[in-house]
Amino acid sequence: MAEAAGVAAESLAGCRARAARTVLDQVVLPGEELLLPDQEDGEGSGGAGERPLRLNAAARSRGRVVCGPGLRRCGDRLLVTKCGRLRHKEPGSGSGGGVYWVDSQQKRYVPVKGDHVIGIVTAKSGDIFKVDVGGSEPASLSYLAFEGATKRNRPNVQVGDLIYGQFVVANKDMEPEMVCIDSCGRANGMGVIGQDGLLFKVTLGLIRKLLAPDCEILQEVGKLYPLEIVFGMNGRIWVKAKTIQQTLILANILEACEHMTADQRKQIFSRLAES
């Protein structure tokens, strides 16, 4: 029925609006249009150009479908704007239609509210710090946005320091603002990142993969050497181990993780563990 609906929804010469359900986990290209499940039913029965009257419109499950990264609402359909795999997450509590998004591979970060990122302080002007987060503009960080900071007790932040914080304001129209405290006023791991260690950049997809709950890479890396590691959603990773050599080895492993298969990784880990 989804196929019939797809064919019936052919509105443009040479272009089919496909049902989102049939394209899950497949590669979608910019310009494709996707139909949501509740539109499929309407299109399928209206294939001949007639729509049956529905007396109880509420019987159709009208969930609120969330349109995630890579998708835009276009009329009552979803327009794909980035190339990648289409993913879907079912709603947890039963209400709503779930989330659809496109898993794409990107290097450039665009600030999103609530993301935890690693920034580099580039300037101190008056009461705010300018922090480079890898986006199109530097984010602003107020000196009062640290745990225990008051007007008299200023935080010890210099130009060039690494900051781990989260965005409180991040949209396309305003300059992004970040803070190093959570909503209760506690640092919760955020703030200035300590001395030494190595900061390097990876793609955004790799960060998401490493931060997924079922990722084994981190556990394996932890078994190798004792280490401190901070992941920023803007593609930056800060890592620190006991010696410089171990730090560099860990940085190289994490950078290479993107292109290695699980077997190759296990081989490398076992070789390192022996030496």
Partner 1 sequence: MQTESKIRADSRTEPGPRGPGCSLRHFACEQNLLSRPDGSASFLQGDTSVLAGVYGPAEVKISKEIFNKATLEVILRPKTGLPGVAEKSRERLIRNTCEAVVLGALHPRTSITVVLQVVSDAGSLLACCLNAACMALVDAGVPMRALFCGVTCALDSDGTLMLDPTAKQEKEARAVLTFALDSVERKLLMSTTKGLYSDAELQQCLAAAQTASTHVFRFYRESLQRRYSKS
- Which lies closer to partner 1 via its Cβ, residue 69 or residue 98? 69
Q: For 94, left (φ over 0), alpha (ψ -120 to 50), or beta? A: left
Determine if 165 is a binding residue for partner 1 (CB under 8 A): no
- Which lies closer to partner 1 via its Cβ, residue 181 or residue 204? 204
Determine if 72 is a binding residue for partner 1 (CB under 8 A): yes
Q: How far apart are CA 88 and CA 68, in angstroms?
A: 10
Stretch in the footprint of partner 1 (CB under 8 A) among 74-82, 113-121, 179-187, 240-248: 74-82
Determine if 148 is a binding residue for partner 1 (CB under 8 A): no
CA 266 from centre of chain: 26
Q: For 59, left (φ over 0), alpha (ψ -120 to 50), or beta? A: alpha
- Which lies closer to partner 1 via its Cβ, residue 54 or residue 113? 113
Q: Rule CB under 8 A: which of 176-235 touch partner 1?
A: 205
Residue type, 176: P
Taking CB under 8 A as the criterion, the residue among 22, 45, 104, 246 binding partner 1 is 104
| Cβ neighbour number for residue 244 with a 10 Å cutoff | 12
CB of 31 to partner 1, least distance (A): 4
Stretch in the footprint of partner 1 (CB under 8 A) among 10-18, 43-51, 52-60, 183-191: 10-18
Determine if 242 is a binding residue for partner 1 (CB under 8 A): no
Stretch in the footprint of partner 1 (CB under 8 A) among 36-44, 107-115, 237-245, 265-273: 107-115
Stretch in the footprint of partner 1 (CB under 8 A) among 99-107, 142-150, 155-163, 183-191: 99-107
CB of 99 to partner 1, least distance (A): 18
Determine if 73 is a binding residue for partner 1 (CB under 8 A): no
CB of 40 to partner 1, least distance (A): 21
Taking CB under 8 A as the criterion, the residue among 41, 42, 82, 199 binding partner 1 is 82
Determine if 68 is a binding residue for partner 1 (CB under 8 A): no
Taking CB under 8 A as the criterion, the residue among 6, 84, 119, 165 binding partner 1 is 84
Q: How far apart are CA 138 and CA 141, in angstroms?
A: 10
Output the DSSP codes for 200-239: EE--HHHHHHHTSTT-HHHHHHHHHS-EEEEE-TTSEEEE
Determine if 142 is a binding residue for partner 1 (CB under 8 A): no
Q: Rule CB under 8 A: which of 27-66 touch partner 1?
A: 27, 29-31
The answer to whether the CB of 146 falls within 8 A of the CB of 94 is no
Binding site for partner 1 (CB under 8 A): 12-15, 27, 29-31, 70, 72, 79, 81-85, 104-108, 110, 135-137, 172-173, 205
